[in-house]
A and B are shown apart, each in its own frame.
Chain A
């Protein structure tokens, strides 16, 4: 038997991620009472199985919707497409607007020259912070 639990972390400060938990329990044949005519003598309630072992596995990944730079389409936590091909990964930082949308600073600085609006929500672009 496998249990899959998906939960989403949406808080702003925390990286939003997806937690996947897979749990397996192992069944031991003796504990499964399949014969309907012989109810358990001790409890009187028929017991289908007993949980003997529980292995929990957790994974996380970036939430693609919020964390991909809409301009170069690379995750904001990685260097932008330009910096990757110029081998300038270290210099590539992230910029957040008042609208809470984030992009690579490199990508946004090219875009605002053309149109000083957020490409995602069309609001006027006002810088909230720059960093990692």
Chain B
């Protein structure tokens, strides 16, 4: 992060000097996405719920990170769920892409890891989908809320999970816990 911020500053300084000869060659130019992300990532550090942790593998790559959610309440309490967030070149016109890397039994996350969260949707008829006014922190808060406030059994992605919940809440709970034990527990 720090490296990229420095790179952006250097480029700006160069531009201010108006020295075209020293302008960086094409390809190494910092994209609009990365400029937006530099600001957002700084904000993100200060504004993440307690149950969340954000990790950047490479400090020079801001468009890819993992989010680890450890819910403190609800059915998935104390499971460790890892989300992989990829931010496309067309950000913030296009929304980030999110995949849940931890196998989970959840009505809004498929067993393949697809996530159903309205603010990640590219095309919506109402105002609930993606908009450039949204930021990374909204996505972190949104994913975190999938375990609490945004948990939605009425519009499921994993239909089986939702059906089991309505049929027998106790079996649903047990299935969730089995999955946590198998896939979302700390490695020993």
Contacts and interface: CB of A to CB of B under 8 A. Distances in A.
Contacts of B29: 85
Interface of A: 70-73, 81-82, 85, 107, 110-111, 114-115, 117, 119-120, 122
Contacts of B122: 114
Interface in B81-126: 90, 92-94, 122-124, 126
| Interface size range of chain B in the complex | 20 to 34
Contacts of A81: 32, 35-36
Nearest to A73: B36
Contacts of A70: 132-133
B132 A71 contact: yes
Leading 5 A-B pairs by shortest Cβ distance: A122-B127, A71-B132, A119-B131, A81-B32, A70-B133
Contacts of B32: 72, 81-82, 85
Contacts of A110: 90, 93
Contacts of A117: 127
Majority secondary structure, B binding face: loop
Given A120-B133, A122-B126, 13 more contacts: A70-B132, A70-B133, A73-B36, A73-B39, A81-B35, A85-B35, A114-B122, A115-B124, A115-B129, A115-B130, A115-B131, A119-B131, A119-B132
A78 to B, nearest CB: 14
B135 to A, nearest CB: 10
B39 A114 contact: no
Contacts of A82: 32
B30 interface: yes
A85 B133 CA distance: 21
A40 B20 CA distance: 72
B36 A111 contact: no
Given A70-B132, A71-B132, A119-B131, A114 B93 contact: yes
B94 A114 contact: yes
Contacts of A120: 133
A73 B93 CA distance: 12
A71 B127 contact: no
Contacts of A71: 92-93, 132
A111 B130 CA distance: 11
A118 to B, nearest CB: 9
9 contacts: A70-B133, A85-B30, A107-B132, A111-B93, A114-B94, A114-B122, A115-B123, A119-B132, A120-B133
